[in-house]
């Protein structure tokens, strides 16, 4: 793996970790591992719910008049589960690589751990921006459609 030496005018010497930093990173590793395990559990639950909606819900709702098929909901759950899986994987990798780096004292493994943490936050950040944009578009669409209903005489009928 190629190593890059990034220097900035503010940083003259490489960072060294003192005992407090190592203890904080150890605690951080435990929490990130906990949250990544929870993430895997929730992704699994989303897949199970998607299967239930695709296979069982249509038989239970034969008489109901749903505006959309239950299969569509299961596809949405599978998509969200797949999107959520990527940052969880990055978080799990961070935790396991950080543990290995702290036990071995390897700066290369530590750098790889930090790279996975950065990828986790980048992925979550991009997903957050996308969802905020979708919410804004949905609100604009509701306002426009709502205004059309009011202007079209919906309330005057």
Neighbours of 11 (CB within 10 A): 9
Distance CA 125, CA 5 (A): 26
* Span 3-11, average pLDDT: 57
| pLDDT at res. 7 | 55
| pLDDT at res. 14 | 75
| pLDDT at res. 1 | 47
Whether the per-residue pLDDT at 155 is higher than 90: the answer is no
Instruction: Return the residue matching tokens 């239930």.
Output: 52
Q: What is the pLDDT of residues 11-70, one digit of tens each?
A: 666 778 889 989 999 999 999 999 999 999 999 999 998 888 888 877 766 656 666 777
| pLDDT at res. 145 | 83
pLDDT tier for residue 132 given thresholds of 50, 70 and 90: very high
Per-chain mean pLDDT for the chain: 84
Which one is predicted more confidently, 109 or 3?
Answer: 109
């Amino acid at each position: 793996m190629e190593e890059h030496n990034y220097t900035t005018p503010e940083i003259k010497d490489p960072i060294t970790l003192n005992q407090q930093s190592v203890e904080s990173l150890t605690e951080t590793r435990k929490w990130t591992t906990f949250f990544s395990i929870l993430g895997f559990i929730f992704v699994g639950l989303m897949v199970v719910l998607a299967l239930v909606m695709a296979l069982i819900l249509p038989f239970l709702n034969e008489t109901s008049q749903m505006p959309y098929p239950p299969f569509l909901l299961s596809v949405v759950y599978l998509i969200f589960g797949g999107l959520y899986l990527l940052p969880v994987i990055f978080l799990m990798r961070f935790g396991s690589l950080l543990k290995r780096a702290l036990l071995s004292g390897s700066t290369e493994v530590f750098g790889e751990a930090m790279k996975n943490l950065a990828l986790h936050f980048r992925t979550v950040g991009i997903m957050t921006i996308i969802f905020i944009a979708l919410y804004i578009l949905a609100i604009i669409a509701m306002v426009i459609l709502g205004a059309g209903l009011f202007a079209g005489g919906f309330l005057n009928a």
